[in-house]
Amino acid sequence: MEAQPADHILIVEEEPELREIIGAEVKTALGWPVELCSPEEAKRRSGVAVGAQVFAPTHILGELQPFIPENRPAVSISYSQASEHLAEIRALSKPSAIAVVSISKSLLRTARGLLAPAIGRKHTYREILMGGRARADVGGFDVVFCDSVAFLSSRNKRKIRYQLVADSCLEQLSGAIKKR
C-alpha cells in the first residue's frame, strides 16, 4: 500500500484554522483532494498517510516521520512573505484605515507584528477574526488584507488576498505529487 502513488494531499498542522487556510490554498492551486488533520490525529490514526503526500510545517516533520511512507517524503510548508502587502501600505499617501481579516488568531497575531512598522502612527489598524461562515463587512476600510478563506467572504473594493503558502512551496508540492 505504501508503494502506490499519492492520490491525495494530507495537510498536518496544529491549528485547525491554519489547516483550513492551507487546505483551501492547496486545493485551489493544485486541484487535488485534500485531507486535514492535527499531528496528534496523524499519530493516532494508523495508516493515515497511506496514499497521501504529506504536507506539514518543518517543526512537526520529525514527530511525523514514523508515519510517512519512505518512498514519499513529506513536503515542508514554507510561508509567503508579506513584502507586497507592506509595499501597499507604504504606498498610501494619506492616513488610512487598514484591516486584516482572518479565520486564524495566530495569523492575525503574525500580521500585527509584520505590518506594525509600515502602519506606524500614520494609519489606523484593526484585526477582524471571522468565525464560522459569517461574512465580514469591511466596507469602511481603505485597505483590507484577507487570508484565502476570509477573502471569499469579505466585501471591500480594495481587498487584497494574502496567500499563506509560498508559491515556490506549492510548486515543490506539485512536483512531488507528479513525479510519483
* 65-94 pLDDT, tens digit each: 888 888 889 999 999 999 999 999 999 999
Determine the pLDDT at residue 133. Answer: 65
Domains of the chain by residue range: 8-79+167-178, 83-162
The set of residues, in sequence order, having a beta carbon less than 8 Å from that of 169 and lying 6+ positions away, is 75, 76, 77, 78, 79
For the chain, the maximum distance between any two Cα atoms, rounded to a whole number of angstroms, is 60
Residue 2 has pLDDT above 60, yes or no: no
pTM reported for the whole predicted model: 0.91
Residue 61 has pLDDT above 90, yes or no: yes
Cβ-contact 147, 104 below 8 angstroms:
yes
Determine the pLDDT at residue 21. Answer: 97
The CATH class of the 8-79+167-178 domain is alpha beta
Residue entry with cell 481579516:
101
Residue 105 carries which side chain, given as an amino acid letter?
Answer: K
